[in-house]
A and B are shown apart, each in its own frame.
Chain A
Amino acid sequence: MLYDKILNITKYYLGPAAEPFLNRQITRHLKTEASKLEPQHISELARWCGISGALVMDKAKAQEFSQKVRSVA
């Protein structure tokens, strides 16, 4: 449920790359799995979405993306 909410937000910014992008942030940086995503992970996930997002998109947009992910919590 939580994962789906964040995936929907991510889709707006990364389209078809949303799922692999999100999964990579969860597994690589949060050291967990998508199905085990908990509200306490959101802040860190949002930070990584901002950092990793800025590599493939405009910095302002990545910041906006990060804020939206953070607002899910």
Chain B
Amino acid sequence: MSGWFKNLRIRNKLLLSFFAVILLGAIALTLNISYMINVRASTDRMITETQKMTALREFQSVYSAVEMYERSYLLSGNEEFLEKREESEIAAGNLLEKARSLAHEEEKGEFAKLAEMMEGEEEFNRVVALYQSGKRKEAMALTQELYSEVLDEADVQISRIINNAQLLLDQINTQTQSQVHKTVATGFIVALASVLLSLLLAILLAGSITTPIAHLRDVAEKVSLGDLSIKVDVDQKNEIGELGDSFDRMVTAVRFFAAQDGEAQEDLAGKEGQK
């Protein structure tokens, strides 16, 4: 046992042990909170990426419907399809805006390109004009030409964004798993360390209290049986040490009172001292 711990007062030993375990717990809690904050941030990013991907997929589907309603109008001449086309175009625009709001800074350019591709109002007016002037075939051909190009390009663009988002999701997922593993490992290590530290402190505390008390018990036992030659040996500067000193003083007094031939011994010792 190290000297400084041995000489601490019992109250301070108990407080020190208590604070050591509390400190360990506080460190573990801080680490776990920091890990949980990271996990929370990763989860938020995963949610954002997922929402962006979902919005883009919905956009793809809704924008295909725009083309479908336009063709349906050109084939049937039914103006209800024009209204539906209009609704779908607005919905597609909203979905694209939603996806764009969730995009990273470096993705903004790609979203701007997508938005640019979707701006086909003038072309649409040309198609309608052709159709209304009786040039149905030309109108159909123009629609075909416009949408095939735009949709293909949009598909490429969207696939690229979704692939990047998927990669990012995988990366975040790996990081999150690592954080969770760290949290579990930290919890386990700290629990183990707390148990070991508590055990060590309990052994030190028990040893520093019970060993000298057992020694004093042995001394009392021997003195009570008449053995006054025993030495009180308590090497601590705390309550236990003070108890040992008191006990030593008491044994010394008993020795003095019990010494039947004390004076003769003193005289002899005095003569030897003078030599």
Contacts and interface: CB of A to CB of B under 8 A. Distances in A.
A52 B269 contact: yes
Contacts of B259: 55-56
Interface residues of B, number: 18
Contact of B262 (A14, A16, A48, A55): A55
B255 interface: yes
Main secondary structure of the interface of B (DSSP, over half): helix
Interface stretch (B18-26, B60-68, B245-253): B245-253
Contacts of A51: 266, 269-270, 273
Nearest to B272: A51
B252 A54 contact: no
A26 B183 CA distance: 76
Contact of B266 (A12, A14, A28, A57): A28
Nearest to A53: B252
B253 A55 contact: no
B116 interface: no
B252 A55 contact: no
B215 to A, nearest CB: 15
B265 interface: yes
B231 interface: yes
B114 to A, nearest CB: 94
Contact of A56 (B256, B263, B270, B273): B256
A3 interface: no
A1 interface: no
Interface in A9-29: 12-18, 20-21, 24, 28-29
B252 A14 contact: yes
Given A15-B249, A16-B253, A57-B252, A29 B270 contact: yes
Nearest to A56: B255
Contacts of B269: 51-52, 54-55
Given A51-B269, A51-B273, A54-B269, A14 B253 contact: yes
Given A29-B270, A51-B269, A58-B231, A20 B249 contact: no
Interface of A: 12-18, 20-21, 24, 28-29, 47-48, 51-52, 54-58
